Amino acid sequence: MKCCGLITTQKEPVPLKSIEVELEVKDHVATVVSTLNYQNQEDKPLEAVFVFPLPGDAAVCHFSAKIGQTQIVAEVKEKQQAREDYDDALSSGQQAFLLEESEQSPDIFTLSVGSLPPGESASIRLEYITELAVQADDGLRFSLPAVLNPRYKPQGSGGTEAATVQVTSVPASQIPYSLSFSARVSSPRPVSKVESNCSLDPLQYLNKEQTQATVKLAGGHKFDRDVELLIYYKDAHQPTAVVEAGQASAKPGSLMGDPVVMLSLYPEFPESVMSSLSSCGEFVLLLDRSGSMDCNMSESKPEETRIGSARDTLLLLLKSLPMGCYFNIYSFGSSYQHIFPKSVEYSDQTLEEAVKKVEEMTADLGGTEILQPLKHIYNQPCIPKQPRQLFVFTDGEVFNTKEVINLVKKNSGSHRCFSFGIGEGASSALINGLAKEGGGHAQFITGADRMQPKVMQSLRFALQPAVEDISLSWDLPKGVSVTVLSPPLMALFQGQRSLVYAQLTGESSEGAQGSVTVDYKLAGQPSKTQLHFSLKPAGDTGLTVHRLGARTLIRSLETEVALEMESETDLEKEEEKKNGGMKDKVVELSVQSGVSSTFTAFIAVNKVNCKPVEGPLLHRNVPTPMQFGMMYSACCRTLADCDAHDFDEEVAYCGSADFCEEVACCGSADFCEEGDQSIMELEYEEDESPSKEEPPRDPLLQLVSLQKASGCWLLEPVLTTVLEKTSEEVEKTKPAAVKEEVWATILALIWLHAFKTDAKEEWELLSLKAASWLRAQKAPCVAECVEAGNALLGCEVKKSMLGL
């Protein structure tokens, strides 16, 4: 057995030279134009294959290629037909370009650049539009994915496109292409600021109202991580409606021929209802323990791993759960485990057992097979009067994304799902899909982000009264009818945006108005939110709203196809195939709107100046950046697989033996399928660096770990250490008539409010639980305790601040 590494770029040049990205953000919709510049520097004709990520809900709506002065615009075709056209073009010496979406995950695309003659250059233009998600701090998040972590394919899973989703990735320092990135932001409301995980040039305002601005990445940026922008508007929580005129050349009555409206709803619920957090529920926490969870959270914090941050977050989450609820914790990799056989009642005993098990969890379970633990969870009977809330923590490196999301959708009536994407390269399709189909909320934790505040915001959502029986009703002028393109609203959360797309058919008069009413039940009481809007089409929107609406409908239909395929008999499948079914509707809609789908692809063929290909067509896989810290080595199956090449053993190779003669694939251990002997045995490289000492534990987490399930603290030496006082000092200042646990709890609350105000969103729920416990004790001398505690800790926290 001989270990082999990446074939260096000096021996096989990578044909992608540069990427240029222009971003235009209008309110909360982003249009992204990427230009990829290729050059064949070899002496033989070349086919370049680039597997790369896009946001999971992006609508790819334009694809073209420029060779010399020749511009070729791609068309959307049924996927198999597009592939055949591509192969036919290559075999006849024509240049061809094929862009297709993965059948397993909607955030992975494969771009094939075919038959580039020696010395030839090609410029590929790719355009997509996407909605921007609202974050915990009200910022709109845009992410330009750079890192495509290899996706783990479970043993025995189907799929005919294994070759097309093979990901070639290298350490970021070896990426041979550059990135230039600029953004233009406009909104009816002023742009207050734009932040990024990468260095930016100063924000430039284009008008005195500050409603338009531009920003660029600072010079010298290496495309070695996802580029993330957070855009903040003043008064962002305003409901809006945008009506877009239909395409003049499209048939009236069709989706592209009729006007389409995009509603942006921000429900506001009564404070009296929202302040009463639920004290019941079944909380099921599902933690990814695959090998890639051992990666660092960010380069700025090399000591903090994904699994370490997740452990700390689970501790905080467990301590913040209300008395009276039920809970369980699952963890998964190639297999899965659970702490309790079934969900148990929340108590000091069960909490202590769970915390102990969580502290022992490491990223040692191999691959990323999330489907089986989800099936096990859904097979457990729900507990009466305890609504199930599922929290999923993963770095999102799964192959069967659509299968996972469809399972969540099938069980959406029994639970809400809150998802958390951890680290660079987490699949946006998986994280957003879990929350969308599960009626919950999605969060992404990247760079120097802290996981804890984002998770606590989702816990607040989970503890809010559930909004039930949601329905839409429309009031439109006579002669105008509506077809809703979006799936039914499954969830509404305080201050969070919900988007609805609808097709408007029929003629309306100048200045006509319409309205939509959202009816729902909140805490058992009927409520409604209404939005009035003008039917006059907005100017300068292109076909953005139509394409986003088409994308929404396409995704819904694709899900229906998948669910039907699961439940149909062979005879029913044959009958549907004969009659033309839901899949044909998706293809028709995709071709009509020019928006990508699972069943279609973009194909462009250059029929000008074609020459027969001389010699074999070389296959080159363009690498994507690999997440830092993920370095593995793998042995090829036979010595013969390696002998033909002089490999660079400093960089690891991971993939099938068939890929040894291409630009090598390198990535996480998750990507190698354990049971497939035709691939290889995986082994971690030995880390020869001296072992690092564990960093001291955060005092806040230490204090949190000492809290009991009921909300109180005990007066013990570990607590006094966190307070930086001796046991004698704490005992000596305790008012005589007060119980020790009351005194300890008041001291802990004072310490939190005095010294950890910057992390209040992390500990606020457990402090409310502590205050509730204190009130139930009806302890005497509370005011005296607060005064004594302030004197001891050297601060001035008022009793009212503690919720007492």
Written as one string, the DSSP assignment of 153-218 is --TT---S-TTTT---EEEGGG---EEEEEEEEE-SS-EEEEEESS-BPPPEESSTT--EEEEEBP
Rounded-to-integer distance, Cα 613 and Cα 120, Å: 13
- Give the pair of three-digit tokens for residue 362: 């490491």
Q: Answer yes or no: are the C-beta atoms of 686 and 692 closer than 8 Å.
A: no
What count of Cα atoms within 13 Å lies in the side-chain half-sphere of residue 279? Answer: 9
What is the reported pLDDT for 616? 58
User: Which part of the chain is CATH 3.40.50.410?
Assistant: 277-463
For tokens 């999102």, the residue is 396
What is the reported pLDDT for 165? 46
Rounded-to-integer distance, Cα 674 and Cα 498, Å: 42
Rounded-to-integer distance, Cα 126 and Cα 376, Å: 41
- Give the pair of three-digit tokens for residue 431: 């994280």
What is the reported pLDDT for 32? 94
Q: Answer yes or no: are the C-beta atoms of 394 and 426 closer than 8 Å.
A: yes
Rounded-to-integer distance, Cα 488 and Cα 555, Å: 13
What is the reported pLDDT for 514? 94
First to last CA, the chain: 69
Element (H, E) at 593: helix 582-593
For tokens 């069980």, the residue is 411
What is the reported pLDDT for 134? 81
What is the reported pLDDT for 166? 53
Report phi then psi at 212, rounded to 5: -135, 140
Instruction: Please report how the helices 760-777 and 699-706 are oriented relative to each other, as an axis angle in degrees rounded to 10.
Output: 30
What count of Cα atoms within 13 Å lies in the side-chain half-sphere of residue 257? Answer: 10
Rounded-to-integer distance, Cα 547 and Cα 527, Å: 32
Calculate the CA 103 to chain-centre distance.
18
**CATH architecture label of 277-463:** 3-Layer(aba) Sandwich (3.40)
What is the reported pLDDT for 402? 87
What count of Cα atoms within 13 Å lies in the side-chain half-sphere of residue 285? Answer: 24
What is the reported pLDDT for 86? 93
Q: Answer yes or no: are the C-beta atoms of 435 and 421 closer than 8 Å.
A: no
Instruction: Please report how the helices 740-755 and 699-706 are oriented relative to each other, as an axis angle in degrees rounded to 10.
Output: 150
Using CA atoms, how far residue 213 sits from 20, 200, 208, 432, 436, in Å, is 19, 13, 10, 28, 31
Rounded-to-integer distance, Cα 307 and Cα 373, Å: 18
Rounded-to-integer distance, Cα 511 and Cα 579, Å: 44
Query: Which residues does the chain have with pLDDT short of 50?
Result: 1-10, 150, 152-154, 157-165, 579, 627-692
Q: How do beta strands 260-265 and 240-244 pair?
A: antiparallel
b or e along 20-58 (b: 16 or more beta carbons within 10 Å of the residue's beta carbon)? bbebbbbbbbbbbebbbbbbbeeeebbbbbbbbbbbbbb
b or e along 228-248 (b: 16 or more beta carbons within 10 Å of the residue's beta carbon)? bbbbbbeebeebbbbbbbbbe
- Give the pair of three-digit tokens for residue 542: 């292109």
3-state secondary structure of 329: strand
What is the reported pLDDT for 346? 96
What is the reported pLDDT for 609? 58
b or e along 276-289 (b: 16 or more beta carbons within 10 Å of the residue's beta carbon)? eebeebbbbbbbbb
Q: Answer yes or no: are the C-beta atoms of 139 and 234 closer than 8 Å.
A: no
Rounded-to-integer distance, Cα 126 and Cα 64, Å: 7
Longest Cα separation, the chain: 97
Amino acid at 336: Y
What is the reported pLDDT for 133? 83
